[in-house]
Amino acid sequence: MAPERLFTVEELSVHYNKVTALDRVSFGVDRGDFIALIGVNGSGKTTLARSILGLLRYQKGRIVWHEDVEIGYVAQHTGVEDRNFPATVEEVVASGVRKSKPLPKWLNRHDKTHIRRMMEYFDIDAIAKKRIGALSGGQYQRALLARSMVMQPDVLILDEPINSLDQGSQKNFLDLLKQLNQEQDLTILMITHDVAGVEPYATRILYLETDLLFDGTFDEFCETQMLSPYIHTHPRRYGRGCS
Amino acid sequence: MSNLEQLLRAFEYGYMWRALLVGVSVSISSATIGSFLVLKKYAMIGHGLSHVAFAAVAIGLVLNQAPLLFSLPLVVLSSIIILKLNHTARLQGDASIALMAAFALALGTVLVSTSGGFNVDVYSYLFGSILTIRQTDVYFAIGFSVAVVAFLLVYFTQLFSMTFDEDFARITDVKVSRLNMVLAILTGVTVVVGIQAIGTLLISALIIFPIIIAMQFNRSFKGTVGIATVVSIASVVSGLLISFVIDFPSGSTIVLLNSLVFFIIYSLRTILGVR
């Protein structure tokens, strides 16, 4: 059976003043894909993600949605978020459930049950009343993931979600994403610098350098002669797994 | 006459009741709107707008017209301009607020100096004078605070979402730009309504202090906004009554009370090692 196409990016170009951030980027995303979007700093990864999310206006090209697709988003955890922001984990997670509700978007019993179940799934129910700024990096990212997942999205876009996490938390977070990808057929597009780290998880690699230089599997990526020198000169960043 | 007797006498005066009603109304709107402004890192917008209010008052005095007539449209317009400058004019953070505040203060000072300098009228608008509050001001203040509370009840969850994470709010279809605009306009009106009870130069403190004090209690978002509102009402009521008894400017007394409460709570937190 042919994979179900969710959306297609066609000849997408973005310019900031006279600087080209994205140059005629084209690719399609199918339901169930787990895509690692890689590239050096300034290669247009975040610009591409924000364009898909509708947070940025692109000048040329288009994004074709093949069906009514709900998108979730987990932003980069920098570790310098406002630690004093007065909100509980539960309040943050609940803010994801309200999209489809009519104003004033007050929660009913069904919503509260859904939120509680989601917090249990992501193992943050015990810290539901804790201040969001008091969480560890791993807990914080799980809370943001839960906030997106209560929306029951078809696609989840993550912008370097594991950058500031320790190795153990990184693995736990990626395991959780794989579980969502396989159990709930969640389509994932994740920006990352750690190609080798996502090798066991990602089914596709998109390599961006203003234009899209590569779109394929991890093994194909390692075999690509055009990219090999680059990978080997940046082994820490672009893959111990390509040796 | 003892201080207590003097305090009780305050309630015999019509102007004191008017001041209390306007004060409570302003404290509700400033604390609730201020909560979102401070957490969105727009804390200084009230400060900038208070300077614009001073310029508007000066225009009114020069033209021998009711100063509040000019304040409302000018301050609301300025709040919209600040918001637009922030997003379109490549001005970082609070630079647009500083720009507007400096311009308005300079304009106001020039206008005041051409109309006889800083007299009693000007001082009463700068630091608050409850004697100037009329019955129509009371109706407007109460009506406005009811409108603010209604707006917050309907849009609270969306305001929370965009205050915590504007990008996420946008992808969940929250009309962020529109709500920011409404917040800016409500801030402008709050500043104008608070001019008589608090004064143009001190009204911004009522936007900032209550939420900062409330944040020391480590509560949920709803709880924090609730505490900020209670703190704001309590400080305005007690400030107005104390200023009546010891004959201090009302605005200054309210702000000093807020400062004292913040200092005590912050010190206690530090001493007790509460994180």
Dist CA B53 CA A4 (whole Å): 59
> Which pLDDT score is estimated for A218?
85
Dist CA A39 CA A55 (whole Å): 21
B164/A151 Cβ within 8 A: no
Q: Provide the CB-side half-sphere exposure for A193 (13 A, CA).
A: 13
- Cβ atoms within 10 Å of A95's Cβ, excluding its own: 28
The pTM of this model reads 0.90
Mean per-residue pLDDT, B145-151: 96
* Beta-carbon contacts of residue B150 (< 8 Å; ≥ 6 apart): none
**B172: distance to nearest CA of chain A, Å?**
5
Q: Give residue-wise pLDDT tens across range B69-80.
A: 788 999 999 988
Mean per-residue pLDDT, A103-117: 90
Q: Of residues A79 and B15, which shows the higher confidence score?
A: B15
Q: In which band, very low, low, confident or very high, does the pLDDT at B81 lie, cut at 50, 70 and 90?
A: confident
Q: In which band, very low, low, confident or very high, does the pLDDT at A233 lie, cut at 50, 70 and 90?
A: low
Range of lowest pLDDT (A93-107, A120-134, B142-156)? A93-107
DSSP A113: H
Fold of B3-272: ABC transporter involved in vitamin B12 uptake, BtuC (1.10.3470)
pLDDT at B88 over 80: no
In a mutagenesis test of the B interface, which of A53, A92, A95, A98 is the best target, namely the one with the most B β-carbons within 10 Å?
A95
Q: Give residue-wise pLDDT tens across range B157-216.
A: 999 999 999 999 999 999 999 999 999 999 999 999 988 778 887 888 999 999 999 999
Of B154, B161, B167, which has the smallest distance from its Cβ to A75's Cβ?
B167
Tell me the count of A-B CB pairs closer than 8 A: 74
Mean per-residue pLDDT, A93-112: 85
Q: Of residues A147 and B2, which shows the higher confidence score?
A: A147
A54/B170 Cβ within 8 A: yes
Dist CA B215 CA A84 (whole Å): 8
Dist CA A231 CA A237 (whole Å): 8
Tokens matching residue B14:
């019509």
Q: Looking at beta carbons, which residues of chain B come within 8 Å of A131? A: 218
Among all residues of chain A, which has the CA nearest to that of B213?
A86
Q: Is residue B35 classed exposed, middle or buried when 0-12, 13-18 and 19+ CB atoms within 10 A define those classes? A: buried
Map out the domains of chain B as residue ranges.
3-272
> Which pLDDT score is estimated for A8?
97
**A53: distance to nearest CA of chain B, Å?**
7
A106/B171 Cβ within 8 A: no
Among all residues of chain A, which has the CA nearest to that of B225?
A86
pLDDT at A5 over 80: yes
Does the N-terminal peptide bond of residue A3 adopt cis geometry, omega within 30 degrees of 0?
no
Q: In which band, very low, low, confident or very high, does the pLDDT at A102 lie, cut at 50, 70 and 90?
A: confident
pLDDT at B90 over 70: no
B160/A96 Cβ within 8 A: no
Provide the percentage of residues in chain B whose pLDDT is more than 90: 55
Of A55, A87, A98, which has the smallest distance from its Cβ to B220's Cβ?
A87
**B234: distance to nearest CA of chain A, Å?**
21
Q: Looking at beta carbons, which residues of chain B come within 8 Å of A88? A: 220-221
Among all residues of chain A, which has the CA nearest to that of B168?
A73
> Which pLDDT score is estimated for A109?
93
Q: Looking at beta carbons, which residues of chain A come within 8 Å of B221? A: 86-88, 91
B161/A85 Cβ within 8 A: no
**B218: distance to nearest CA of chain A, Å?**
6
**B216: distance to nearest CA of chain A, Å?**
9
Q: Give residue-wise pLDDT tens across range A61-85.
A: 999 999 889 999 998 766 556 778 9
pLDDT at B115 over 80: no
* Beta-carbon contacts of residue A139 (< 8 Å; ≥ 6 apart): A89, A124, A127
B224/A86 Cβ within 8 A: yes
Q: Looking at beta carbons, which residues of chain A come within 8 Å of B164? A: 85, 87, 92, 95, 132
Mean of all residue pLDDT scores within chain A: 88
**A156: distance to nearest CA of chain B, Å?**
12
- Alpha helices by DSSP H, listed for A54-97, are 89-94
Dist CA A119 CA A93 (whole Å): 8
Q: Which residues pair with A38 in a beta bridge?
A: A207
Q: How many residues does chain B have?
A: 275
Q: Give residue-wise pLDDT tens across range A16-67.
A: 988 999 999 999 999 999 999 998 888 999 999 999 999 999 999 999 999 8
Q: In which band, very low, low, confident or very high, does the pLDDT at B248 lie, cut at 50, 70 and 90?
A: confident
> Which pLDDT score is estimated for B2?
79
Q: Looking at beta carbons, which residues of chain A come within 8 Å of B160? A: 87, 91, 95
